[in-house]
Amino acid sequence: MKRFVLIITTVYIFSGCSSWEPWVKPYERENLSDPIMNVARDPISAGYYHHVFETRESARGAGAVTGGGCGCN
Amino acid sequence: MKLKQTAYLFILTCLLLLSSTSRAAVLPDERADAMYHSYDGDEIQVTGPAILIRKNVGASTSVFYQYYEDNITSASIDVRVGGSPYEEFRTENSVGVDYLNGKTTMNLSYTDSSENDYEAGTFSVGISQDFFGDLSTLSMGFSQGTDSVTQRTGNNPTTFSSELSNIKRTNYRVGFSQILTKNSTISLGWETITDEATEQGGSGVTLNNPYRSYSYGTPGVNRFFAREIYPNTRTSNALGIRGSYFVNTFKSAIHYEYRWFQDSWGIQSNSLGLSYVHPVKNWELDFRWRYYTQDKADFYRDMFDFANQFTYMGRDKELSTYTSMAVGISGSYKFAKNGWGWIDKGSVNLSYDLINFEYEDFRAADDTTANPGEEPFFQFEAEVIQATLSIWF
């Protein structure tokens, strides 16, 4: 029951969020919408750059690209 | 009980998505990109073309197709120590669709990677939702892939073994992006990946590369090689933090990222990246720096004492302790900024990166001037070049 109340409360809070006033107004987002603010603005290049490192490092995940294969021996 | 928790989570997620109002997110740009790429380092050359086409279908659907090619010529340290130089060809085909409904974007994609000794197919699905007046975006994703591993037999690149290992890979992703101010954004991402390999026909190959060997012997006296023995499962976790800041004075941007990683093999790594993008008239210049450091896997050693000393034994340099640093620069020229026929705008991009790898416990075993097991630690530099033509329509 406690969990149910918690869920309902959480949903209520999140549902109410859509009526919150955003602290950055839509008309203030010109700089944010500039393409240079997108780190993966060239998706084919960003994917390749990611692949170059992924095939030579053990770390993986929490990046922008998924896929299989190697080409790395 | 676990089922109940999953059901609650699902209901909560659905209610969250349904509680959205009507201001819409946007579909990705309609564009076509053609790229030529080149990697040259440690006597490996990898070159090839790639294309990406993304097009809207109706008002709420975007589809894409990507083709990528690797032409590989290799005489790397692994080949110099225990193999023969080889040439290889890999192709990768991806198709996908994004569907937009109000503030919700759903995506579905499939990637097929094919080389003569390795086949991989990955299916991905994801959903993202804007909320809090579009200041925040929550995203979740799931991928499942299957790899089929074989091996060249002898030096003839046209004959191959039967399947040695079959790998199932599952990815779970969750991300959260937040607009902080009118000039800055930040995002957090978490991804858990599990691999499970099934050895085929007693091959001895699980998650290891069938061409690579571990080493054993007596330092200063001798060094022998035998096929690596890997665990058949691996689970990894990664946490990424990324941010962007718009510099009003120059109309430029700073991007930063940090990633923490650990896996069930005992590997831990940290990476840090920083880039600065500066516009100059029709040009856009990008300067970047990246640093990566990792600790070795529990079952890694440059040289074991004797054969079959432990249950698992590996000498992949990617499992060793090392650091790498990369610096790069790109120049992008924008043309047809006001449109030209059916083209909305275009750009030509040239990019160069220099990467240095320095290994702390992986020795250059191809160095015949040194005693076995006493060779200098391996290091190499790689150059990466990309040339891209992009058109928006």
Pure H helices in B47-109: 77-82
Res B19 pLDDT > 60: no
Nearest CB to B115; choose among A17, A18, A71: A71
Q: Which amino acid is at B203?
A: S
Quick one: average pLDDT of B112-127?
A: 95
Res B179 pLDDT > 60: yes
Quick one: average pLDDT of A15-44?
A: 84
Res A9 pLDDT > 90: no
Are A20 and B353 within 8 A, CB to CB?
no
Q: What is the C-alpha separation between B191 and B261, in angstroms, rounded?
A: 10
Q: Which has the closest alpha carbon to B54: A43, A36, A50, A38?
A: A43
Facing residues of B71 across strands? B47, B89
pLDDT (tens digit per residue) in B251-303: 999 999 999 999 999 999 999 999 999 999 999 999 999 999 999 999 999 99
Which pLDDT band, with edges at 50, 70 and 90, does B11 fall under?
very low
**Token reading at B86:** 């080889």
Place of tokens 């990476």: B271
Res A18 pLDDT > 80: no
Res A6 pLDDT > 90: no
Which of residues B263 and B134 earns the better pLDDT score?
Answer: B263
Instruction: State residue B171 phi and psi, 5-degree precision.
Output: -120, 135
Quick one: average pLDDT of B201-228?
A: 92
Q: What is the C-alpha separation between B319 and B208, in angstroms, rounded?
A: 11
pLDDT at site B280: 96
Nearest CB to A24; choose among B66, B131, B135: B135
Residues 39-68 of A with CB under 8 A from B: 39, 42-45, 47-49, 52-53, 56-63, 66-68
DSSP 8-state code for residue A22? P
Q: By mean pLDDT, which of B8-12, B58-62, B90-94 is the weakest? A: B8-12
Res B185 pLDDT > 50: yes
Among A5, A25, A60, A65, the residue to mutate for chain B (most B Cβ within 10 A): A60
Q: What is the C-alpha separation between B114 and B121, in angstroms, rounded?
A: 9
Which pLDDT band, with edges at 50, 70 and 90, does B138 fall under?
very high
pLDDT at site A47: 94
pLDDT at site B3: 42
Which pLDDT band, with edges at 50, 70 and 90, does A3 fall under?
low
Please report residues of A whose CB lies closer than 8 A to that of B35.
Answer: 44-45, 48
Q: Which has the closest alpha carbon to B37: A27, A7, A47, A24?
A: A47
Q: Which has the closest alpha carbon to B73: B57, B89, B61?
A: B89
Quick one: average pLDDT of B37-49?
A: 97
Averaged confidence pLDDT in chain B: 92
Residue B231 touches chain A, beta carbons under 8 Å: no
Residue A69 touches chain B, beta carbons under 8 Å: yes
Cβ atoms within 10 Å, residue B11: 12
pLDDT at site B25: 81
Q: Which has the closest alpha carbon to B168: B144, B203, B142, B143?
A: B144
DSSP 8-state code for residue B27? P
Please report residues of B whose CB lies closer than 8 A to that of A42.
Answer: 33, 332, 349, 388, 390
Res B20 pLDDT > 90: no
Residue B63 maps to which CATH number?
2.40.160
Facing residues of B378 across strands? none
Q: What is the C-alpha separation between A54 and B124, in angstroms, rounded?
A: 18
Res B12 pLDDT > 60: no
**Token reading at B370:** 């040194």
Res B219 pLDDT > 60: yes
Number of H helices, E strands in chain A: 2, 0
Residue A27 touches chain B, beta carbons under 8 Å: no
B282 lies in which domain range?
A: 2-392
DSSP run (H or E) holding B48: strand B44-57
With pLDDT > 70 as the criterion, what percentage of chain B qualifies?
A: 93
With pLDDT > 70 as the criterion, what percentage of chain A qualifies?
A: 59
Instruction: State residue A41 phi and psi, 5-degree precision.
Output: -70, -20
pLDDT at site A2: 64
Q: Which has the closest alpha carbon to B139: B64, B29, B1, B242?
A: B242
> Are B302 and B362 in contact, with CB atoms under 8 Å apart?
yes
> Are B120 and B113 in contact, with CB atoms under 8 Å apart?
yes
pLDDT at site B127: 96
- Total number of domains constituting chain B: 1
pLDDT at site B129: 95
- The ipTM of this complex is 0.90
Residue B210 touches chain A, beta carbons under 8 Å: no
What crossing angle do the helices spanning A2-17 and B2-18 adopt, rounded to 10°?
20
CA distances from B209 to B67, B153, B245 (A): 25, 14, 41
Quick one: average pLDDT of B338-365?
A: 96
Which pLDDT band, with edges at 50, 70 and 90, does B166 fall under?
very high
> Residue-wise over A4-43: b if at least 16 C-beta within 10 A, else e?
eeeeeeebeebeebbeeeeebeeeebebbebebbbbbbbb
Res B22 pLDDT > 90: no
Place of tokens 């929490």: A62
pLDDT (tens digit per residue) in B318-328: 999 999 999 99
pLDDT (tens digit per residue) in B241-250: 999 999 999 9
pLDDT at site A20: 61
Residue A71 touches chain B, beta carbons under 8 Å: yes
